[in-house]
Amino acid sequence: MDTVPDIVIRGIDNDMAERIKEIARLNNMPINDVLLRLLRQALKLDAETLMVANPKQDIARLAGAWGKDETDALRAAIAAIEKLPGG
């Protein structure tokens, strides 16, 4: 069995530390497990997403996000409506 190396991360600012603690509380997980999961997500090695209590991310995760084609179509539709009388 291979030994897994420990890695030390220095220079974590207070905002990052508080955010990590918040995610740990929300998911009822130890901080080390949260950090491992976040690293796996960032490296695209894990599809499971943690609850992050960020309204913008939560809404995007639940409702999905728009691609460029959809965004362009919406903008074109809005522009067309704005050209209508009273628009």
Taking only the tens place, the pLDDT of each residue in 63-78 is 566 777 888 888 888 8
pLDDT tens digit sequence for 7-41: 899 999 999 999 999 999 988 999 999 999 888 88
Nearest to 34 by CA among 12, 50, 10, 53: 50
Residue 61 near residue 49, CB atoms below 8 Å: yes
21: CB partners within 8 A, 6+ apart: 31
Give the separation between CA 54 and CA 11, rounded to whole angstroms.
23
Give residue 20's pLDDT.
92
Give residue 2's pLDDT.
75
The pair of structure tokens assigned to 27 is: 């998911």
Q: Is 82 left (phi over 0), alpha (psi -120 to 50) or beta?
A: alpha
